[in-house]
Amino acid sequence: MLQQTPVVRVIPRLAEWLERWPTPASLAAEPSGEAVRAWDRLGYPRRALNLHAAAVAITDRHGGVVPSDVPSLLALPGVGDYTARAVSVFAFGERHPVVDVNTRRVIARAITGNGEPGPAHKRDLADMEAILPESDRDAQLANIAFMELGALVCTARSPRCDVCPIVEACAWRNAGYPEFAGKRAPTQKKFAGSDRQVRGLIMAELRASEVPVTLAEIDGVWPDDVQRARALAGLLADGLVVSVPGGFELPS
């Protein structure tokens, strides 16, 4: 849920989710479409599909117990470098670098002296490893500290250097806050009018219905025939929508 989604938006949804599905097996026992429906408007609904698939994999391959080692976690659908290490470190206390947008920004500023982290890179893991304390517990605390510092103090927009605990050691600050010169991640495309928006509208229609949604109803969510067809085809290809007699519905 936290992948590319602000923490404050995740918290209430997570609470509902865990009340309904307290274990991987309980989620795995339901149709994947129920996960997509409960995902509601969190965004990137493929994550709901992945989470359900991960619950199935954990139930099948790991006896319903979430694995603690990074390779096993990485093998789960929708789990990448960040999520695998976050679970291993924060839930199980293993020692790994946890690299997310926050830790990358803190390292970029405090250590490298750049105002922005630039696009994510495989090398980020080694950069984080290089400054990680030796013991499991201290490494865990360091990971937490870097993430919290980036999320609450060393923010992207307007960093609160006046309350930063490491401001005197910050390379970016000590260099006089130079303008970022490196290459940055490509800017997101406009959402309004995008395929993403159309996909979202179609998904909202399906989530709201307990019976198959007709093609005529889907036609009503967006005026551009070509774009609407492309969005629907994409959703079908992604497995977020399935075709049934009489229309379309969430997967089972």
Contact positions toward DNA, by CB under 7 A?
A: 2-7, 9, 41-46, 50, 77-84, 86, 100-102, 119-122, 147-148, 151, 155-158, 185-191, 194-197, 199-201, 203-204, 234, 240
Q: Residue 83: which residues within 8 A CB-CB, separation 6 or more?
A: 3, 73
CB of 17 vs DNA, minimal distance in Å = 15
Nearer to DNA, 204 or 236 (CB): 204
Of 179 and 191, nearer to DNA (C-beta) is: 191
Nearer CB in complex with DNA: 21/82: 82
Q: Which is nearer to DNA, 138 or 238 (CB)?
A: 238
The DSSP string of the chain is --TTS-HHHHHHHHHHHHHH--SHHHHHTS-HHHHHHHHTTSS-THHHHHHHHHHHHHHHHSTT----SHHHHHTSTT--HHHHHHIIIIIT--------HHHHHHIIIIII--SS--S--THHHHHHHHT--SSHHHHHHHHHHHHHIIIIIS-SSS--GGG-TTGGG-HHHHTT-PPP-S--PPPPPPSTTSHHHHHHHHHHHHHT-SSPBPHHHHHTT-S-HHHHHHHHHHHHHHTSSEEETTEEE---
Distance (Å, whole) CA 92 – CA 77: 20
Q: Alpha-carbon distance 14 to 2, whole Å?
A: 10
**In this complex, which beta carbon is closest to DNA, that of residue 25 or of residue 125?**
125
**Please, what is the minimum distance in Å from the beta carbon of residue 245 to DNA?**
25
Q: How far is the CB of 68 from DNA (least distance, A)?
A: 16
Q: Which is nearer to DNA, 176 or 187 (CB)?
A: 187
Angle at 5 between CA 92 and CA 1, to 5 degrees: 45
Nearer to DNA, 28 or 147 (CB): 147
